[in-house]
Structure 1
């Protein structure tokens, strides 16, 4: 028996169409997708068809919708595997999610195993009758009943004919799809990538421009806050424009009106140079007064010296060898 099948075995290269045809013809069902068998009930009945009477069909739930109910079906299947000493691992957590690839691989293994046991056919097995004891089994049989007559006599040959005809039809239909999709998809991807790159470059340039002008405005704000010019009317007008909450052209007009009013009142708008000149004049006058006072103090001190002090000063100069003394 094929209990352990390698991943490169021919069983894993069987297509979905052939798998679905095998399930529907063996169990008289009408599945359209392999992942519809993710509840585990179909697997249990396939094992029941391969080994009649070994599966307790009254425990199988064909109406399983929740993961809890599906897991109960896989527990029944695992018990059957244990009785038959089958070492195949059942990945229940993946199968109950309804993933197409996982369910297809497991169903490919089921087909290989059942074919190795029964030789590809289930003789004297009535799937509808066996499902009657299952929960939801009658509803499944009733839904698939209209298609049973055609499957009983001519259904299987049709499946075989379609299975044989599928490669030719697939080869004739698939190439246009494959050749038409890549040309339409790849240009769109490249165009989108180019647009994304352009948008990123535009965003970077706008951020740099924003930071540049913000720094300029910050420098102007700091300059306006310096104590030398903070009280000037023109500074008030500039700050009024800087701190405006909304873009309003009337703010500029109001600032200009403020400056015009100050000019009419005779207030100088740029007294900076005048203030500097006045300060320099005051400093020059104070230095001039200090020099005059120092000269007067020196003259007064020289007049108050006694004759002895003058002679001693002269002798000190003579002894020092000053070049200003003549002999």
Structure 2
């Protein structure tokens, strides 16, 4: 399965979007587990209880429920694949990318990778969402009650902004005048801060992915049969697989390199002695 992990994120996203008629732009958007469930539903029709899959999952609790469904499907199909749920629900790009890479390879191994042409992904998603418990009760709520609830949330939001500003003014009382203008300015300022933080986060994620790819290349190189038994390679692996930031990892690696150098020098001396000896 090692080859599966060389598939890039753009190829993974294109595959998901084309197969399930979605418009994902980042692999972490698949962190809820719902997409993985629907992929299994496509290639193993009738095995996935789609009414249990929550496509609107936002909290870790709801996401975990989706992965429970997926794990049950794996068990039914005798698929020996451990799901790192605690890592996936955190939305970490690399963890989700690796799982989606595995999923793509698996889907391609079933029926020669031929998908069910009669499968309607949008219809299956909608049906699953309608069949979920609680959907009907939400749809039957009194519109006036929903409106009042929305107004209450809006007032609470503006009051919170006032507290954040330290003014103590209940901004939810009015949307006009100085209070309304102040609330609008605060909302605009907070929106700009969120946008800036998002840009910074995207940059950090790109930098992290870049260095992770470098480390992955080094790991693959260390697994080359001609090199994996060298002490220098063992020293590199010692650093790569260190469980924490302890200093002993680099110390142990340096000791292995020193032994390698000493061994090489001894071999050179022995070879020279043999050449200078009597014939």
TM-score by length of 2: 0.45
TM-score by length of 1: 0.39
Based on CA coordinates, which of the two structures has the bigger radius of gyration?
1
Whose relative contact order is higher, 1 or 2, with alpha carbons under 8 Å and at least 6 apart? 1
